């Protein structure tokens, strides 16, 4: 069964450093997402991406964040200058197009645990 994959599973970085989190969405999906989950809290939407551009983003997704689909398979989240409060699990998700219009069910990857020291 197709699945979303993410690398690395765990990333440790120093405050102020740049990190890139990588995702390979399900191959025939067209919508891609990043979510964040701080330890013990709920999953929070960061950004959605369609047709090579950001379609929605939350207040969390400030200028320190960027996303890119550098080729036909990868979808990346870059944090330019990490802060302590960026420590969290970051989940990538992807979805297709539903027959009713709008997006179909989102499937999540296993996550990348980011630890900022």
Partner 1 sequence: GQQLNQSPQSMFIQEGEDVSMNCTSSSIFNTWLWYKQDPGEGPVLLIALYKAGELTSNGRLTAQFGITRKDSFLNISASIPSDVGIYFCAGQPDNYGQNFVFGPGTRLSVLP
User: Where does this chain bind partner 1 (CB under 8 A)?
Assistant: 4, 6, 31, 33, 35, 41-45, 48, 50, 55-56, 58, 89, 91, 95, 98, 100-103, 105-111, 113
d(CA 111, CA 113): 6
Identity of the residue, 48 or 82, whose beta carbon is nearer to partner 1 in the bound complex: 48
- Which CB, 15 or 43, lies closer to partner 1? 43
Distance of CA 78 to the CA centre of its chain: 9
- Mention every residue, 6+ apart, whose C-beta is less than 8 A from residue 7: 22, 112
- Least Å from the CB of residue 16 to partner 1: 26
Handedness of CA 79, 81, 86, 88 (dihedral sign): positive
* Nearest approach, Cβ of residue 91 and partner 1 (Å): 5
């Amino acid at each position: 069964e197709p699945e979303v994959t993410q690398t690395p599973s765990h990333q440790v970085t120093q405050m102020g450093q740049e990190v890139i989190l990588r995702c390979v969405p399900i191959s025939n999906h067209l919508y891609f997402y990043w979510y964040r989950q701080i330890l013990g809290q709920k999953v929070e939407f960061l950004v959605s991406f369609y047709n090579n551009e950001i379609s929605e983003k939350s207040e969390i997704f400030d200028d320190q964040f960027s996303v890119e689909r550098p080729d036909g398979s990868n979808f990346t989240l870059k944090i330019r200058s990490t802060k302590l409060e960026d420590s969290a699990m970051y989940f990538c998700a992807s979805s297709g197009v539903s027959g009713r219009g709008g997006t179909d069910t989102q499937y999540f990857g296993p996550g990348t645990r980011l630890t900022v020291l």
